[in-house]
Structure 1
């Protein structure tokens, strides 16, 4: 969360926005924005979404927990794969 906050702060500054300006554009209070940039883990997701929308990067939320790149989940599934696959009785094998 700390890195996310630092990255958001850097993105804001690169765009030449003050905290007050970004807070107004995102429709949040300045104290909320400061907590987001500080990496407060209690921050609500909709605040992040609003800030990303102001930055024009709302599509990044789409990739946040993309199942296709869930390395741990895929590894756990691979561990459960059978060692070999046998045809079922009475089924037509290729």
Structure 2
């Protein structure tokens, strides 16, 4: 098992490199900026990159549809939303 002290610097560098990509996001465009910010928040709260990305994709689809820009979303993302929605529906056990 690798100790946390050995992996912490690598995780910090990965996190910093992810945040450097936020500069390229058009935060003035509500339908583009909000899903990215939600993806970061979900990643931090869930402590999981996969859950954050899945949440960001679902949030992207929801925001685009509610903004009336549903034609901008590729059909493949609608298909991908089905298992992602199932993932979030079963993520919390009652």
TM-score, normalization by structure 1: 0.28
Find the structure with the greater CA-based Rg: 1
TM-score, normalization by structure 2: 0.28
Normalized per residue, the structure richer in helix is: 2
Bigger relative contact order, structure 1 or 2, given CA contacts below 8 A and separation 6+? Answer: 1
